[in-house]
């Protein structure tokens, strides 16, 4: 079967709209909310209303992650589908060409929404439609190992009682609800970890503080403590049964969905840096010639060509992971490959662009220094570079997490 590397025609209007929003709505307020850390960008309310209108009219082509349902198979008609996951990564990349922190601050577009899309049953999908959901995974003592979660959820009648502390919760203070990962039984390991939708204002869920960060300052990042927090049993996403054979599948389905999204953020931010750096090099008399070998050009042009090649590889891996999700193909390996490649080269590209631009790159006269700060988190959250490499190695070698740590 031939592979067409052009953008799907039906997504081009969506991508064009996202680019216009990034250029005309996000870029102009980017520096403002970088300096006004923790201040909610009121301009996003109008943007969210526009997106809702596009979704209702069908004009958005369904942008917004559809999730990775492991129990569903690809269509049997032999055809392929360019669907919501592909539309999402393409539009998110364009939005992050504008500003990563503002994209992460968008109402009803939280990482918790991807968890709901991936794990929730049909009734829960309908009940939580339109909810802005943050996602609480990381804990003070767990590091990058999500399977080592110690927050507990104990069934008490028709409620679960949650106790524990979560850190680095994106949109933790602003979101309508938080998807909390907790264990039903620590002794049963990964299989007992489930996710719960906890609405904002639920007694026992308290935002302890907001973090001051290197980048994405427009996005609020919270520490949340759960103390005897009672959540209705029906807010446990998916099945409450502990299936030791299935193990960590529910949680991993969420990551299979969110990791390509984070890759798209890195791709968009890196593209912004490349575009501006090419302009600045041209103004300085350095032209990048795509028809000549890099070794015959200036050092700056050769470096730029190498960065563009790295970017192209990350972009294609991102598209592959999202396309596989749309076609209900297992994409754990590809999701981690996309996240690892995009996270690393995104950070490398934005920092290298600062260097190529010299004093212009290091000062606040341009956004290059901001993009370098913003991009670093994209190599860290949703699984660090090192965790992604570990997952890829396990998948390629056919080893379990117990075999290769």
Which segments of 187-331 does DSSP mark as H helices, in order? 249-283, 299-326
Highest-confidence segment of 54-58, 62-66, 306-310: 306-310
Residue 63's pLDDT is what? 41
The yes-or-no verdict on residue 382 having pLDDT over 70 is yes
Rounded mean pLDDT, 36-62: 75
pLDDT at residue number 183 = 94
Q: CA–CA separation, 278 vs 210, rounded Å? A: 37
Give the pLDDT band of residue 341 (cuts 50, 70, 90): very high
The share of the chain scoring above pLDDT 70, in percent, equals: 90
Q: Give me the catalytic one of 94, 139, 366, 382.
A: 382
* Amino acid 22: pLDDT: 96
Q: What pLDDT is recorded for position 257?
A: 85
DSSP-assigned beta bridge partners for residue 197: 179
CATH fold for domain 249-397:
Butyryl-CoA Dehydrogenase, subunit A; domain 3 (1.20.140)
83/63 Cα distance (integer angstroms) = 9
Residue 51 has pLDDT above 80, yes or no: no
9-119: CATH architecture: Orthogonal Bundle (1.10)
pLDDT at 78: 59
Question: What pLDDT is stored for residue 41 in this prediction?
Answer: 96
- In whole angstroms, give the CA distance from residue 97 to residue 273: 8
When mean pLDDT is compared over 50-54, 310-314, 324-328, the highest value belongs to 310-314
Q: Where are the alpha helices (DSSP H) in 36-78?
A: 43-57
Topology match between the domains 9-119 and 131-235: no
Report residue 206's pLDDT band, with 50, 70 and 90 as the boundaries: very high
Chain centre to alpha carbon of residue 191:
24
Q: For the chain, give percent helix, strand, coil, nearest 5.
A: 50, 15, 35
- 228-232, 252-256, 281-285, 401-405: the lowest-pLDDT one: 252-256
pLDDT of 329 higher than 50: yes
Indicate whether 71 pLDDT > 70. Answer: no
Residues 6+ apart with CB under 8 A from 279: none
- The arrangement of secondary structure in 131-235, i.e. its CATH architecture, is Beta Barrel (2.40)
Mean pLDDT value across residues 78-103: 91
Asked if pLDDT for residue 55 goes beyond 90, the answer is no
Domain map (residue ranges) of the chain? 9-119, 131-235, 249-397
Q: Is 129 a catalytic residue?
A: no
Q: Do residues 202 and 230 lie in contact, with contact meaning Cβ atoms separated by under 8 Å? A: yes
* Distance in angstroms (rounded) separating the CA atoms of residues 7 and 26: 23
Model pLDDT, residue 64: 44
**DSSP per-residue codes, 126-138:** HHTTT--EEEE--
The answer to whether residue 194 scores a pLDDT higher than 70 is: yes
Which whole number is the average pLDDT over 85-102?
A: 95
pLDDT(61) > 80: no
pLDDT at residue 361 tops 80 = yes
In this prediction, residue 309 has a pLDDT band, given cuts at 50, 70 and 90, of: very high
Q: Are 98 and 21 in contact (CB under 8 A)?
A: yes
Rounded to 5 degrees, what angle do the CA atoms 120, 126, 128 make? 70
Q: What mean pLDDT is predicted for residues 259-285?
A: 97
C-alpha to C-alpha distance for 30 and 370, rounded to whole angstroms: 9
Helices within 120-248 (DSSP H only): 122-127
3-state SS assignment for residue 106? coil
* Mean pLDDT in residue range 297-313: 97
Which residues fall within 8 angstroms of residue 232, CB to CB, at 6 or more apart? 158, 159, 160
Q: Which helix (H) or strand (E) holds 17?
A: helix 12-21
Judge whether residue 288 has pLDDT over 80: yes
Q: What is the pTM of this model?
A: 0.92
Between 186 and 217, the more confident residue is 217
Q: Which of 242-251, 276-285, 377-386 has the highest mean pLDDT?
A: 276-285
For the chain, give the longest Cα–Cα distance: 73
């Amino acid at each position: 079967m031939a592979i067409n590397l052009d953008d799907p025609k039906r997504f081009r209007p969506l991508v064009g709209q996202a680019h216009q929003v990034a250029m005309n709505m996000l870029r102009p307020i980017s520096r403002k909310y970088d300096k006004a850390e923790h201040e909610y960008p009121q301009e996003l309310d109008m943007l969210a209303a526009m997106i809702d209108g596009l979704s209702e009219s069908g004009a958005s082509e369904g942008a917004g992650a559809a999730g990775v349902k492991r129990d569903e198979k690809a269509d049997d008609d032999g055809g392929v589908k360019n669907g919501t996951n592909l539309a999402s990564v393409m539009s998110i990349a364009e939005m992050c060409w504008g500003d990563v922190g503002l994209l992460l601050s968008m109402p009803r577009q939280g990482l918790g929404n991807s968890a709901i899309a991936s794990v929730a049953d049909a009734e829960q999908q309908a009940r939580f439609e339109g909810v802005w959901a943050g996602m609480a995974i990381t804990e003070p003592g767990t590091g990058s190992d999500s399977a080592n979660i110690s927050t507990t959820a104990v069934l008490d009648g028709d409620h679960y009682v949650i106790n524990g502390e979560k850190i680095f919760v994106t949109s933790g203070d602003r979101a309508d609800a938080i998807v909390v990962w907790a264990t039903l039984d620590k002794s049963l390991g990964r299989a007992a970890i489930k996710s719960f939708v906890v609405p904002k204002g639920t007694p026992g869920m308290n935002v302890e503080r907001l973090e001051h960060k290197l980048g994405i300052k427009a996005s609020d990042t919270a520490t949340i403590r759960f103390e005897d927090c009672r959540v209705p049993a029906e807010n446990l996403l998916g099945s409450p049964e502990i299936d030791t054979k299935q193990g960590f599948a529910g949680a991993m389905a969420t990551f299979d969905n969110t990791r390509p999204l984070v890759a798209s953020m890195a791709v968009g931010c890196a593209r912004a840096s490349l575009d501006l750096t090419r302009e600045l090099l041209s103004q300085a008399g350095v032209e990048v010639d795509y028809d000549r070998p890099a070794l015959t050009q200036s050092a700056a042009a050769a470096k730029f060509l190498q960065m563009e090649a790295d970017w192209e590889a990350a972009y294609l891996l991102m598209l592959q992971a999202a396309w596989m999700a749309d076609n209900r193909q297992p994409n754990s390996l590809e999701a981690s490959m996309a996240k690892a490649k995009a996270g690393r080269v995104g950070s490398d590209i934005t920092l290298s662009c600062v260097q190529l631009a010299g004093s212009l790159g290091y000062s606040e006269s341009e956004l290059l220094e901001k993009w370098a700060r913003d991009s670093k988190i994209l190599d860290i959250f949703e699984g660090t570079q090192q965790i992604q490499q570990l997952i890829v190695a396990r998948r390629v070698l056919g080893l379990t997490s117990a075999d290769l740590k």
